[in-house]
Chain A
Amino acid sequence: SAVISQKPSRDICQRGTSLTIQCQVDSQVTMMFWYRQQPGQSLTLIATANQGSEATYESGFVIDKFPISRPNLTFSTLTVSNMSPEDSSIYLCSVEWREGHYNEQFFGPGTRLTVL
């Protein structure tokens, strides 16, 4: 299994600023994912981050708004740039854990972002 931590756990930010969210895993993993959960909504995949390559963004999400770093196999960051109140959400990272034929995605506790 994999244990995931995120920093910060929550933040309140001003419009127009940027926030970088950190995701740390206790094991080396190839694939990491970033999700957004808007208030009262389900999870939506923002991007997939494979170590050593550019992140792959889902439709509706762009690198300029959500730049991602993946410097090694246990760490990733997501930056929410030029924030507006519409960016108020919970941001979660997850990892795909593979062991033989078994695979599962584990999720971090999330970062609750409020933009004023």
Chain B
Amino acid sequence: AQSVTQLDSHVSVSEGTPVLLRCNYSSSYSPSLFWYVQHPNKGLQLLLKYTSAATLVKGINGFEAEFKKSETSFHLTKPSAHMSDAAEYFCVVSDGDSGYSTLTFGKGTMLLVSP
């Protein structure tokens, strides 16, 4: 069984300050991990993914995440927040054990960016 815990339901930052969205996972197998972003009334967009290659993964819009197996974490970071980053972010784990990717979503973290 696999699960994802996003430690914060809401994160508030000021524009230009760093962003940290925390995610811990549990998986019986070597997992693939993803971060998706959902802007209001928009579809889900893949930010980045980890699939057992480099542990530091760079994504779109300046986001990156580091896979730490010892801590079972996959936190999402960005050095400087932009107003357009305000959205809901989902950490997702996939074990691919069933021959295709079964995704398990975290509960989401709403990122609020103030001027």
A residues lining the B interface (CB < 8 Å): 4, 30-31, 33, 41-45, 48, 92, 94, 96, 103-110
Contacts and interface: CB of A to CB of B under 8 A. Distances in A.
A43 B100 contact: no
A85 B42 CA distance: 23
Given A42-B107, A96-B100, A104 B49 contact: yes
Nearest to B99: A31
A110 B103 contact: no
A42 B106 contact: yes
A92 B108 contact: no
Size bracket of the B interface: 10 to 19
A108 B38 CA distance: 12
A49 to B, nearest CB: 11
B90 A110 contact: no
Interface in B75-115: 90, 100-108
Interface-centre pick from A42, A45, A109 (highest chain B CB count, 10 A): A42
A103 B103 CA distance: 12
Nearest to A50: B100
A94 B108 CA distance: 18
B17 to A, nearest CB: 26
